[in-house]
Amino acid sequence: MTSIHAFRDDALGEHDAVALAELIRAGKVSRQELAAAAIERARLVDPQLNAVISPIYDAPRYGTRPGAALDGVPTFVKDNTDVAGLPTGHGSEAFRARPAAKDGAYTEHLRGTGLTLIGKSRLPEFGFNASTEYMTESPARNPWNLDHSIGASSGGSAALVASGVVPIAHANDGGGSIRIPAACGGLVGLKPSRGRHIDGEQVKHLPLHIISEGVLTRTVRDTAAFVAAAEDHWRNPALPPIGQVHGPARRRLRVGLVLRSVTGAEVDAPTRAAVEHTAALLEKAGHLVEPIALPVTEQFAADFVQYWALLADLAISTGKLILDRSFDAARADGLSRGLRAHHRQAPHRTPGALRRLRRVPAAYARMFARHEVVVSPVLSHTTPPLGHLSPTVPFPELIERLTHYVGYTPLNNIAGTPAISLPMGRTDDGLPVGVHMSAAYGDERTLIELAYLLEAENPFPRIQD
């Protein structure tokens, strides 16, 4: 197995974001030194990872609130979010993006937590795929094994955090795009509740709001610190505050255990073992764990694919208007074009699919009348070799592979509810395996508390070991 990492004896060391921010506050290191160390690390490993699409190494963008909780910690912004002066390419080879006139709303939110931007990270076209691969360009690679997928759509950010270039990076999630790369890269990936953070610009074009903004980290306390810092910068008054979470709670929880996805896909042995191990750790800690069924059927999977296909149809049809006049539909990737064709074959199915999807939040909420948390796989199998989910794969085969692989995460996007991926297992050849925990709308705090418990009981894998 060929792995790669950037950890070394420099200003970043092996520190997480919380520790780096503390060093800055103590005057032991400067923001400039941290940015320089992260840039040097990126230059060292990105030729192999291919995770950076737009570096800004010559002029890092420092946080807008000196003294904020994460002041000076270097990061990357995903390339579906505007950064002033940089193109926003959305992972597409179908057009030439022009420089953004100003920072996007979520870029401002990130900088408001104190983070220093040093570049933009790669994603697959429009974030539709579960692997960061392209028609003609080289893929983003998994630092744990360069021949394997790092997931998607926040794959570039995951590769940069997992390899040690930065301790935290921007991600967003419309069907699993925070949690999937977290599972592939051995990271912590929290998808917040709908409306928890400021929305990115993409949301205004969606018939059904499914996207949550967030970050990928290597430690639970970094995720907790970011959530608190983001809330300090801006808080949605319609949601209960989370505050700073410092560790596990003492309350006894009722935990639902799900191993069967809505598609009925077989769960592979390493994934099943990681989920069962997690359930055993929760029982050991005094929580009640019992098997439950998801509140949706295979119709949900068909409806989600129909909505996914609608979004692809809209992206390609409006590309010249919304993205750039240079947009060429014939150069969109195979997955986007295949989804568009899928939608155009049966557009009459879309209204019914949207109607049923809008009923999902109520069905999901009923699942939490008895349980505070649901534990499941993130994915039905461990991260595949590059090529398995390439957009060059014929569409009928690719969509079958994707719906088999991604059977658990989309439910939270439709329901608008929080969920987290934690690295709770390893394959025989050392690849990380993620486990998924979901909670009721607005209850990120319970997920973070349980994540602290599981991290203590099952220390997360370190790529540098």
Q: How many Cβ atoms sit within 10 Å of the Cβ of residue 202?
A: 22
Tell me the backbone φ, ψ of residue 160, rounded to 5 degrees.
-70, -35
Report the C-alpha gap between 202 and 375 in whole angstroms. Answer: 30
Which residues are CB-contacts of 359 (< 8 A; sequence separation ≥ 6)? none
3 state DSSP class of 450: helix
**Residue 153 known to be catalytic:** yes
Give dist(CA 228, CA 241) in Å, integer.
9
Residues 6+ apart with CB under 8 A from 82: 88, 100, 102, 103, 104, 107, 201
| Residue closest to 379 by CA, chosen among 263, 251, 234, 245 | 263
Order of strands, sheet of 116-121, starting from the edge strand that comes earlier in the sequence: 52-55, 116-121, 74-78
3-state secondary structure of 55: strand
Q: Classify burial at 355, counting beta carbons within 10 Å of its beta carbon; exposed 0-12, middle 13-18, buried 19 or more.
A: exposed
- Supply the pTM of this predicted model: 0.98
Q: Cα separation of 153 and 251, whole Å?
A: 35
pLDDT at 201: 84
Strands 432-439 and 373-377: antiparallel
Number of Cβ within 10 Å of residue 96's Cβ equals: 14
326 SS3 class? coil
| Token duo for residue 323 | 């993205």
CA distance 142 to 182: 11
In the chain, the amino acid numbered 275 is V
Question: Can you list the residues of the chain whose pLDDT is less than 70?
Answer: 1
Distance between first and last Cα of the chain: 14
Alpha-helical segments (H) within 219-297: 220-233, 269-284
Strand order in the sheet with 373-377: 168-173, 212-217, 188-191, 419-426, 432-439, 373-377, 254-257, 288-291
The answer to whether 390 is a known catalytic residue is no
Catalytic residue among 78, 120, 212, 390: 78
CA atoms of 89 and 461, how far apart (whole Å): 33
Give the model's pLDDT for residue 1. Answer: 65
Structure tokens at 97: 């993006």
Which amino acid makes up residue 72? G
The answer to whether 397 and 300 are in contact (CB under 8 A) is: no
Question: Catalytic: which of 153, 154, 390, 421?
Answer: 153
Q: Which of 121, 157, 177, 438 is catalytic?
A: 177
SS3 345: helix
> Is 421 a known active-site residue?
no
Q: What is the DSSP letter of 156?
A: H
Rounded to whole angstroms, the Cα distance separating 448 from 14 reads: 22
**Phi, psi (degrees; rounded to nearest 5) at 306:** -65, -40
**What per-residue string of b and e applies to 327-352 under the rule 16 or more CB within 10 Å gives b?**
beeebbbbbbbbbbebbeeeeebbee
Whether 314 and 410 have beta carbons less than 8 Å apart is answered as no
Distance CA 273, CA 342 (A): 36
Residues in the chain: 465
3-state secondary structure of 420: strand
Run of H or E including 169: strand 168-173
Q: Which residues pair with 77 in a beta bridge?
A: 120
Question: What sign results for the dihedral spanned by CA atoms 46, 406, 201, 242?
Answer: negative
* Residue whose C-alpha is closest to residue 76's, from 183, 216, 227, 247: 216
Given this model, what pLDDT does residue 85 score?
A: 97
